[in-house]
Amino acid sequence: MSPQNEPLSAFERNARTVLEESLLRIDARTRSRLNQARHAALEAAQAPRRAWWHSFTLMPAAGAAAAALLVAVMLWHREPAGDLPLDAQRPVVEDMDMLADSDALELVEGGDGSFYEWAATQGENGESG
């Protein structure tokens, strides 16, 4: 059943009555302008639309801009060319090992700190015994 063949509800009948009465109160000039606007809208709706591929005319420019942005970001976030010397990396690794080993930390806190300082100086100098 189509919407036009369905019976109108009370609300729809009242709305139609009110709209038809308000239409009778509109002067001829306004009614003419409304009719012209209606016809212009109908013509615009029936006008042929642009093909979907016309919207891709800016794709090459957008692709070039995206590539330039990607290159700029890659160059801006580039890491330093060289690594730190091994001597500069070594104390950090040793400190991390010591912090990760809870038993060693307990021994240092236990009062044998002077022994560990002596052992560390012996290891750095390369001396033994």
Q: pLDDT tens across 50-71, in order? A: 776 666 777 888 888 999 999 8
Domain that holds residue 16: 10-46
Q: What is the pLDDT of residues 78-99, one digit of tens each?
A: 666 666 555 555 555 666 666 6
What's the pTM?
0.29
- Tokens 């022994």 correspond to 115
Measured distance CA(49)–CA(115) in Å, rounded: 88
Indicate the number of domains in the chain.
2
- Residue 108 domain flag: yes
- Residue 69 domain flag: no
